[in-house]
Amino acid sequence: MPLLRSLPLARRVRTVSFALSAAGAATLLVAGCAGTGQPKSAGHTPIASAPARLWPDRSPAPQPPPDKSGQDAPSPLPGLPHVPSGNIRTLDALDVVKAQIAEDTRQQTPAFDKATERRIARCGDEPQRCPVRSPEYQDLTHDGRDELIVGIEGSEHTLAVWAYMIRGGVVNRILDTAGTPLSVEVSDGDVIMREPTGSPGYEMRTVHAWDDQRQTMEIRTMEFDRAVSSPSPRRTP
């Protein structure tokens, strides 16, 4: 529950005066009326109180340093053809994933273990064992063009979610996140991931939204939320 904020003293005095005047007027009205349906006083109006700060003499904790683990800028992805049309649908999503894995290897920042990488490399020959989900296309940047969203299954029910845009004909990654989601949704360009928690009836809800200044998807909300029942996955005939 949000804490109520205290009103300024002058405003509180006016509020109390108004409440007392209203109560007095109601009393006179009741005294002057008779019969059924006559007005009745609702009692005194409660006054909002300021939150009581505990241990005000305690030194506050220092602000943590800026989080450098996130994506500070769009990340150009080499190894892919130039796309002057800006239409990312012209690229093969699996080629984008493989190019990203190759770039992560060069940067010594692999996202997956070797077993998962081998499964991705064999997706063309063994599609039934391919951990790359079917590509999704949504307008995440609100520019009227679709971005590419890929999901890659890892170990222990993890799912890596990457999103890409075309910028100046070059493919750029604008979202790099992972979790153990119950569901992944897109709503008005926001990527929403819901994950289980240890609290019955609650789940973790993380919202990634487009930051026009940084030109990437940034975490806008991360909170515990009431659990939302997800539909059962459809069976493939």
**For the chain, what is the domain count?**
1
Q: What is the pLDDT of residues 119-165, one digit of tens each?
A: 999 999 999 999 999 999 999 999 999 999 999 999 889 999 999 99
Evaluate if residue 21 carries a pLDDT over 50.
Answer: no
Instruction: Determine contact, residues 205/190, Cβ cutoff 8 Å.
Output: no
Q: What is the DSSP letter of 138?
A: E
Kindly report the CATH number assigned to the domain that includes residue 153. 2.40.128
Q: Residue 4 domain-assigned?
A: no
Looking at residue 39, what is its pLDDT?
62
Instruction: Determine contact, residues 39/25, Cβ cutoff 8 Å.
Output: no
| Residue 153 exposed, middle or buried by CB count within 10 Å (0-12, 13-18, 19+) | middle
Evaluate if residue 35 carries a pLDDT over 80.
Answer: no
Closest CA to 49 of 85, 96, 15, 97: 15
Residues across the chain: 237
Ordered DSSP codes for 169-197: TEEEEEEEEEE--SEEEEETTEEEEEEE-
Q: Residue 39 domain-assigned?
A: no
Looking at residue 2, what is its pLDDT?
42
Q: Residue 99 domain-assigned?
A: yes
Mean pLDDT (the chain, rounded): 82
Q: What global pTM score does this model have?
A: 0.70
Evaluate if residue 199 carries a pLDDT over 70.
Answer: yes
Least confident of 11-15, 159-163, 200-204: 11-15
Q: Residue 203 domain-assigned?
A: yes
Evaluate if residue 212 carries a pLDDT over 60.
Answer: yes
At residue 229 the predicted structure's pLDDT band, cuts being 50, 70 and 90, is low
Domain extent at residue 196: 75-226
Q: What is the pLDDT of residues 42-91, one digit of tens each?
A: 667 777 778 888 998 988 888 777 655 445 678 899 999 999 999 999 99
Q: Residue 30 domain-assigned?
A: no
